[in-house]
Every structure is written in C-alpha cells, then in structure tokens.
Amino acid sequence: MNAPTLQDIREAAIRIAPLAHRTPVLTSRGLDEICGAQAFFKCENLQRTGSFKIRGASNAILALSDDEVRGGVVTHSSGNHASAVACAARHRGIRADIVVPNNTPKAKQETAAGFGGEIHLCEPTLAARQAAVDTIQQRTGATMVHPYDNPLVIAGQGTAALELLADIPDLDAVAAPVSGGGLLSGTAIAATGLKPGIQVFGAEPERADDACRSFHSGKLEPLLTSDTIADGLRAALCQRTLDVIRAQVTDILTVSEAQIIEAMKLIWRYLKIVVEPSGAVPFAMLMAHRERFAGRRVGLILSGGNLDLEKLPWQT
C-alpha cells in the first residue's frame, strides 16, 4: 500500500494494544480563556516511551515477518522514534540499531539506549542519517523502520486521533505537529475517515517550514533551516506524506520560536504536565492564529514529553 486507510489504522490499534497506552485527553479552562477556543489535549507525552512514536514503530515492527526481522531493525531518528523502535524491538526480542543526529537532546539519546537500542551518532543532516543507516544495513541485513515514509508507521500514528475522536466525538478540528508528516498523515486519514468534514491542521515551526511551503507549492520543498527549538520537527516531508497531506489536510500554519516557548510554558503551568517544545507547537498555533479557531472545539495531538530538564527554554 502507498498510504494506509482508516481500516489499516483500526487494525494498527489492535496490533499495538499490548505496547501502547491509551492516553488521556486533558482540558483547562485557563488555557481556553487564553486561546479563545476549546482545546482538547491528547496527551501523548504520557505515552509509553514519552511520545506517540511507539504507535507507529510498534505497528511496523509487530507486522514484520520473522524472516524480515532476522537481522534486527535499523532506523534514524532525532530521538523519540529511536526510543520507540528500541522499545518495540525489545518487546519482540530483536536487535535495534539507531542512528541519531549528534544535536539530539541527551535525554532522548539516553532513553533510547535505556530500552536496549544500539546508538550510532551522526552529523545532523538527512544525508548523513541515511548514509549511516546504509552502512549498518550492509553489515547486519537489518530491516529499515523509517520514521515516517512507511504506511505501517503512518497507520500506527493515526491511532492517536482514533482514540481522541472516540473520547471527544464533537470536534470541529484536529491539529498535529508536522515534521516528516507521519503523524499528520495518520491523523488526517483517521479524522476525516471517522468524521467527514472535520478540519485537519498541521502546525509547524517557522524555522522548519518545509511542510507549509510544500503544501502550498504542491511539490517537495527543501528544509532550509533545522535549528528550531522544536527538536522533534527537524525532518522534511516525503512524497508519500505530502500526497496524503495535500489531499486531506485543511492547512499548515507556522509559529515562531517565541510562540512555541510561550505555549510550552503555559501547558506546563496550567495542565501540570511536561511537554517538549515540539508537543507545544499545535497549541502555539491555536494562539498565533486565533482568528481561525475562535470559539471552536479543537483536538491537539500533544506529541511528546522528552527533554533535558537541566535548562528550560524560557530560562535565560
């Protein structure tokens, strides 16, 4: 398959049930007053491994045949997909090699290693990531579990929206952060499949806005900068995710670094949960583009909560 269907996402939900938590949906009157909308936070920071990534990784790894996992699995990831692949591989009893850019927060590297993944550091470019994966595959014969250019991964990520809409059926819109587009694609397929007419938004940092530009131009635009504080959103769309997003997403809206930090701090303060910068991007979008969402009921995929606690972004 090229892109998964709603049925694939439903099957993913059954397949990943032994590994992934059903996460809660939190709300806050205080945050609703601040953003002028009604926000429903799907708390994937409380997910196993600290992010939604376990959904896609475990769906892909559990669906592989015994033959396909003989050499283990390999992937590249700026952090959360790394932990997810390591966790799912351990669950299946196979080896996981993980290529991690050397600018990934230490907390994320340690978490992945803690699940038993073998970490290989590389330069922080997509080319260097792929080269390192190729080298490992030649040596071990491992199967690549791509962080987003994989229909099983996309189907797994879509299970978060499936649960969100089961808990809060009367949403006007859903929003997810966008990096490589796996989460946004899965969210769009699940949400529009369950509820035709629902709006689906991608939320993206201005400083990694390839998805916004690609969405509007219709072709894959290069990532020009990748130094956003939202360290989970430094990858670029692929043709597979761009096709889904062009077909099923309402719009992709961008936010500034300052807006991400402000949103993150408000979530910590009002919801009392630890969210990483990437996970705060959809709420930042709600505040930055409030005219689009005034008074509406918006589900936000709060993607993860892994970050270094030594220094927080709002601290000078």
Annotate each residue in 92-111 with x if it binds its own copies (CB under 8 A) or - if it does not, as one string.
---------------x----
Amino acid at 285: M
Query: Distance (Å, rounded) from C-alpha 291 to C-alpha 2?
Result: 35
Q: Is 269 a binder of its own copies (CB under 8 A)?
A: yes
Q: Which residues are within 8 A (CB) of 272 and not within 5 positions of it... i.e. 6 or more apart?
A: none
CB nearer to its own copies: give 142 or 307. 307
Residue 107 in contact with residue 45, Cβ under 8 Å?
no
224: exposed, middle or buried (Cβ count in 10 Å: 0-12, 13-18, 19+): exposed
For position 205 contacting its own copies by CB under 8 A, the verdict is no
First vs last Cα of the chain: how many Å apart?
Answer: 48
Distance CA(47)–CA(84), nearest Å, equals: 10
Cβ-based neighbours of 300, under 8 Å, separated by 6 or more: 39, 40, 41, 42, 174, 175, 176, 282, 283, 286
Q: Which of 83, 185, 214, 303 is catalytic?
A: 303
Exactly one of 4, 50, 105, 158 binds its own copies (CB under 8 A); that residue is: 50
CB of 281 to its own copies, least distance (A): 17
Instruction: Find the catalytic residue in 51, 53, 83, 185.
Output: 53
70 versus 265: smaller Cβ distance to its own copies:
265
The least distance separating its own copies from the CB of residue 44, rounded to whole angstroms, comes to 10
Q: Does 265 bind its own copies (CB under 8 A)?
A: yes
18 lies in the binding site for its own copies (CB under 8 A): no
Active site residue 303: yes
Binding flag, residue 315, its own copies (CB under 8 A): yes
How does DSSP assign 132-186, residue by residue? HHHHHHHHH-PEE--SSSSHHHHHHHHHHHHHHHHH----SEEEEE-SSSHHHHH
Stretch 25-44 residues interacting with its own copies (CB under 8 A) = 26
Q: Which position among 3, 9, 13, 46 is part of the footprint of its own copies (CB under 8 A)? A: 46
Query: Is 53 part of the annotated catalytic residue set?
Result: yes
Shortest gap between Cβ of 258 and its own copies (angstroms)?
Answer: 16
Indicate which residues carry an active-site annotation.
Answer: 53, 303
Chain positions contacting its own copies, by CB under 8 A? 24, 26, 45-46, 50, 107, 265, 268-269, 271-275, 305, 309-312, 314-315
